[in-house]
Amino acid sequence: MEKRKSDRLQPLVIRTMWTYQENESPGYLTNLSEKGAFLATDDPIPIGDTVNLDITLPWQIGEITLDAVVEWTSVDSQERTADHPRGVGLSFGDLPAEAGEKIEAFIHRFHELVAQLEDMPT
């Protein structure tokens, strides 16, 4: 569990187009890892249902398309803040190899940039 937490990218927002039951919507992901992500949405999506994601990763890493399963939801929560947006927790299951490689490259690049910022004088 500890490895999963360290691989998640809490502060970074990634735009996505997502499709659920043939309805396509723009949205954003946070907490991206090779295991899953958080999709911010006010749309109620039942736990266990599948959404399709079209994700464009920054830094010219590229686009990926994959299916994700809703593992949990906070859509019904009355609390909505910048730290706790409404949405659903997604798991990716068996990631296609190319998608996994791109997510891994994205996480690696993010950590490189964080390290550079930490080394900068204040």
pLDDT of residue 10: 52
Closest CA to 9 of 45, 44, 61: 61
Over the range 46-84, which residues count as b (16 or more CB within 10 Å of their CB) and which as e? eeeeebebebebeeebeebebebbbeebbbeeeeeeeee
Cα within 13 Å of Cα(94), Cβ side? 0
According to the model, what pLDDT value does residue 78 have? 62
Q: Which residue range(s) make up the domain with 73?
A: 2-119
Q: Tell me how many domains the chain contains.
A: 1
Per-10-residue mean pLDDT for the chain, 122 residues long?
Answer: 47 89 94 93 93 94 96 76 79 93 92 81 70
Q: Give residue 12's pLDDT.
A: 78
Question: Which pLDDT value is given to residue 91?
Answer: 97
CATH (domain of 107): 2.40.10.220
